[in-house]
Structure 1
Amino acid sequence: MPTTRARRKNSVSVQYAVPRRGVPSAASFRKWAALRPAQATIRIVGQREGRRLNRIFRRKNFATNVLSFPYGPGRGDLVLCHPVIAREARAQRKTIAAHYAHLVLHGLLHLRGYDHEKKREAERMERAEIRLLRRAGYGNPYTVE
């Protein structure tokens, strides 16, 4: 009986609940997601929906950049709030694509069980993000360049 590991399937659906101007293409989201294969839906939302979801699921009354909803290892939904991401990218002097790539990979790592509540977990997650972003052609998101 063969002992080779089956290749993980990458299946990513992208939903836009905001105008697409300034938001990366579905192809970009799929390219970034392919770095960490997953079965996920990525939904791009506005401020109102982002705030509502964060209030319902985290009991925080503000929109956040990314929310992850895992359904199983490597499976789940990501919600990305475009106005928050655009504002953060400007403040951090990053391209919108670099910041989106970082947050997509951050969310996908959450779907795989990564967390950042404890220092050791956060360091492990950051190392994985940096490694994946380098493969995507982006720099370290935690350094000021």
Structure 2
Amino acid sequence: MPVQVHVSRAAGLSARGIPRADSFRNWAQTALQAVRRRRASELSVYIVDSAEGRELNRHYRSRDYATNVLSFPAELPPGVRLPLLGDLILCAPVVAREAAEQHKPLRHHYAHMTIHGVLHLLGYDHLVDAEAERMEALERRALAQLGIADPYETA
């Protein structure tokens, strides 16, 4: 199952602490494998700062704060069959802050947020308990394949 992941970061945003593009590709592919998707897939990952993350969250979700990941599934016209899944926006400062607060490696949190976002692109959600349990189980499975601990396990 080929997956193309286009990674870019906001102008002026330092690359420090941000994983390489091949890491995002690996994490996206792992998420797709967790749901047994075999078709070719394509998505973009855009890394932003807090100001842009806040503006995007305010504009698209009416929430006035920067969040860790925003997911924008591709909305293709009926009959158009392309491998596009959509776009992920990751807010680097929020991901870094959460990783520190949760005492986990920054790279592991980026992996989790990428997998979480890809699942959203595929239609998974966590608004209802049963859906949240299903989505979290898929995240755990994908992260375990990467050797990353269960992010929902409480100490």
Per the normalisation by structure 2, the TM-score is 0.85
Superposition CA RMSD, Å: 1.4
Quick check: 1:74–1:112 contact (8 Å CA) kept in 2? Answer: no
Task: Give the distance between the partners of 1:36 and 1:60, measured in 2 at CA.
Answer: 27
Task: Give the distance between the partners of 1:114 and 1:54, measured in 2 at CA.
Answer: 19
**Worse-superposed segment, 14-23 or 67-76:** 67-76
Q: Which runs of 5+ in 2 are unaligned?
A: 33-40, 76-82
Quick check: 2:31–2:139 contact (8 Å CA) kept in 1? Answer: no
- In the other structure, the counterpart of 2:37 is none
Aligned length in residues: 138
Q: After TM superposition, what 4+ stretches of structure 1 lie above 3 angstroms from structure 2?
A: none
Classify the secondary structure of the residue corresponding to 1:41. strand
**Worse-superposed segment, 18-27 or 46-55:** 18-27
The AA in structure 2 aligned to 1:66 is V
The AA in structure 2 aligned to 1:116 is H
- In the other structure, the counterpart of 2:22 is 27
Q: Which runs of 5+ in 1 are unaligned?
A: 1-7
Judging changes above 3 Å, is the alpha-carbon distance between structure 1 residues 74 and 35 closer, same or farther for their aligned structure 2 residues?
farther
Quick check: 2:9–2:48 contact (8 Å CA) kept in 1? Answer: yes
Say yes or no: does 1:122 pair with 2:132.
yes
Q: Which has the higher contact order (CA 8 A, sep 6+)?
A: 2
